[in-house]
Each structure stands twice: as C-alpha cells, then as structure tokens.
Amino acid sequence: MKDKVMAVPRNLIQMVHCGKVISLWGIQVKRTSSFSHAWCRSIASDVTARTSAANTVELLGKSYVPDSYSNVTTKILSKVGKNLHNQRNHPLWLIKERVKDHFYKQYIGRFGTPRFSVYDDLSPVVTVEQNFDRLLIPQDHPSRKKGDNYYLNHTHMLRAHTSAHQWDLMHSGLDAFLVVGDVYRRDQIDSTHYPVFHQLEGVRLFSNHELFSNVHDGESFCLFEQGHRTPHKQETHTMEATKLMEHNLKLTLTKLVAHLFGDAGAENKIGWAFGLGLERLAMILYGIPDIRLFWSKDERFLKQFHVPHIDQKIQFQPFSKYPPLINDISFWLPSEKYSENDFFDIVRTIGGDLVEKVKLIDEFTHPKTKKVSHCYEITYRHLERTLTQKEVSSLHRAIEEAAVHELGVEGRF
C-alpha cells in the first residue's frame, strides 16, 4: 500500500495496487464429524446453509465437503447472504450508492454511457485460486494462513477481499469496473473489527493509446520497457506509464473523497485498483461508533438512515448505551502452536454480538516450567438492553469449556 497516494485518512484505504493489476430461511447449521469446531451450535438465520447426512455443507445452493482445512464456523455461515450493502436505506447501501452515483456521473464512455460497470451481487464463496493464485500471491505468503481466513475446504473459501473477482472480470473483457461485497477475515474483537465487513474496489485498465493520447509526443511513449515476457511475468512498465497511473489514481480518489466528504497486469494494458472499506467510510461519515451496529435490526438505528436523498448529511444519534459487564479468562497455552484467532472464533461463536471487545491484558511465562499463560478481558455489552450477570456467566463458562476442549489450553478459572 502506498501511504502517500493522497491526503485522506489512512484507515479509509485498505489496499491500493499501482501499476500492474494483479490483483439459513430459518434452517439450522449442525456440527458434523468433519467439522473441526466442536463448539459449533445450531443456529438459525436467513441464509441457505446447512449440513447434510453426507457431511457436506450446503451454502447458497451449492455443496462443499469439509476436510482438514475447514475452519468456517456456524456463526460466520449465518452471515453469508445477508448482503447489507444491498439493503435499501442501510448505511452501507447509502455509501455504495453514493460511490456508484459519483462514478456514473464523473466517468462517461464514448457513447454517453457510464464507463464503470458495477458488480454488487457476486457470490462470496470463491476458490482458493481466485482469492490467491490469480492475484499472483505466492504459496508461502502469510496472507493464505488458516489463522487469517475462513476456508470451506482446501479448494473453496469465503473471499478475503473483492479482488478475488478481478481476474475473471478483466478476462471477460472489462477494463473499468467497481466490485462491492461482503468479505471475511478472522480478526481481533473490538469496536472497529468484525469478521465480516464490506469492500468496494475499483479497477481501471488503459491501453497504450488511451493512456498517452492526451500527452505531448505521446505516440513515442510505451507501456513497457523492452524486456522478456514469460507466462508468469510481464515486462517492467515504463516510468512514464507508471507516473501517469499514479497521477490518474490520485485524481480518481481525490474526486471520490471530495464527493463523499466535501473539500476535505493485464495483457497489454496498464491499470490501477483501489479498495475501500464501507464500514470505515460509514463510521467516519455518519459518526457510527461500533461496527456491530451495522448488523443491528433495532429501528432506532435503521430509521436514522431513511433519507429522501443518498447525499443527505446524517449524524448518528446514539441511543442509550447499556452498561458493560467485564469478565476475565486465564489459561495456560498448549505446548503446540496456539492461534489467538482460534480463541476469538470461539468467543464470537458463543458470545456473538454480545461481546464488545476481547483484550489480552496479561502474559506470563512460568520461570520453571516455561509454560505461557494468557489472561484476556472480555467485555460484554448488549446494544439494545441491559445484560444480567447470570446471562454473562453462562456464556463465559461456555467459552471457558470450549477453549479447553477445542484449543487444548489448561484453564486457570
């Protein structure tokens, strides 16, 4: 990521590729013997996801056979297909529509039609090849880790970024498009992180003629240096082409940010791509303090975004913030590799959106045994009512039991 592409808040831009673009309707999910997560509980949702007698997971009309790589939980499966970005008057829908409107009006093709096409209903289930290989991400790259992604099995996963669709769209002949959708990553638990969030990315490719047509002596410029092209690597782009791409991307993002905030390798082409997190934009634009609110069905939240025009200014008005209940959990780590994201998944699966934050507050190594102990502070807070200690104690005990059973930790409860 280039930090200096433009003077906007850095947390708005999640990834920028410059130069070569490489870029249950009320049924239950039940744990089967093939799932590695024994704490997965039956859960109802609006997504068609379920397990069959053959130990397969049926998701969005297709079946997937779990294997040793599977780590997606029922809690995450229950989010698939919600498509918050397509729910009219939802804050994420408002952001998406504002960006679409901007691109439709600012970038017009030769025949007076919008240059950028928009894809906001592509399936979040992709192949590992789409998510990584087609973006030229090496096999040993840390971004592929199970600890950071949700895998259905070793060949299919929930997309970690909307870039998973770049190759297919570019190879269908598109050279200017926006992709919007839900993406999935195993992450920490706090007010700004959630395992499901929404991205919007844009891609623009230029041919030699398109890029240099308005440049003095442009006919003498080339996209590539003289070099050797292989099936896995193209020639180096020329300095002139790279600088024009940098300038074009900066102008594109500057116009978009001004619209939202006010004055505040592809064949024989070159291009840019950017990715924006819709939740990040909405939290800043509308003053939304907690990422869990985007999943709320509370009318006190949703009605605030029923506006007559998508560009109307909105300032979120907090409703009563209910008191938190804080409980600690301590345990000795197992001798084998321990992944903090595995613990976070347990907390999310059992605690759900009642968990506001999980924070590591103490780490201790025994001087004799060299065993390592972690102590986490778990903050529980309901967004719509006051929690009771009895409710929280029950959840907390379930988390303790699951940590021992699934992670092999030794409890210090």
Same domain, 167 and 303: yes
pLDDT tens for each residue of the chain, 413 residues long:
333 333 333 333 333 333 333 232 222 233 333 333 333 332 233 344 555 545 889 999 999 999 999 999 999 999 999 999 999 999 999 999 999 999 999 999 888 899 999 999 999 999 999 999 999 899 999 999 999 999 999 999 999 999 999 999 999 999 999 999 999 999 999 999 999 999 999 999 988 878 887 777 767 678 777 766 666 656 688 888 888 888 888 889 889 988 998 764 455 777 888 999 999 999 999 999 999 999 999 999 999 999 999 999 999 999 888 999 999 999 999 988 899 999 999 999 999 999 999 999 999 999 999 999 999 999 999 999 999 999 999 999 999 999 999 999 999 99
Q: What is the CATH number of the domain that holds 118?
A: 3.30.930.10
CA nearest 21: which of 333, 328, 268, 225?
Answer: 268
* 3-class secondary-structure state, position 172: coil
Instruction: Could you list the beta-strand ranges (E) of 104-245.
Output: 117-119, 125-127, 156-158, 176-184, 196-206
Same domain, 240 and 347: no
Same domain, 303 and 181: yes
Q: What is the CATH number of the domain that holds 387?
A: 3.30.70.380
Q: Which two tokens stand for residue 272?
A: 């840019």
- Concatenating the DSSP letter of every residue in 86-111 gives GSTT-HHHHHHHHHHHHHHHH-B-TT
Same domain, 293 and 396: no
pLDDT of residue 47: 42
Q: What is the pTM of this model?
A: 0.80
Within a 10 A sphere around the Cβ of 93, how many other Cβ atoms?
22
What residues make up the domain containing 357? 323-411
Same domain, 239 and 309: yes
CA nearest 55: which of 36, 31, 77, 79?
Answer: 31
Within a 10 A sphere around the Cβ of 91, how many other Cβ atoms?
26
Same domain, 260 and 220: yes
Domains contained in the chain, number = 2
Contact residues for 86 (Cβ-Cβ < 8 A; gap 6+):
93, 96, 120, 121
- Edge-first strand order for the sheet with 13-17 is 13-17, 270-277, 196-206, 176-184, 117-119
Same domain, 254 and 380: no
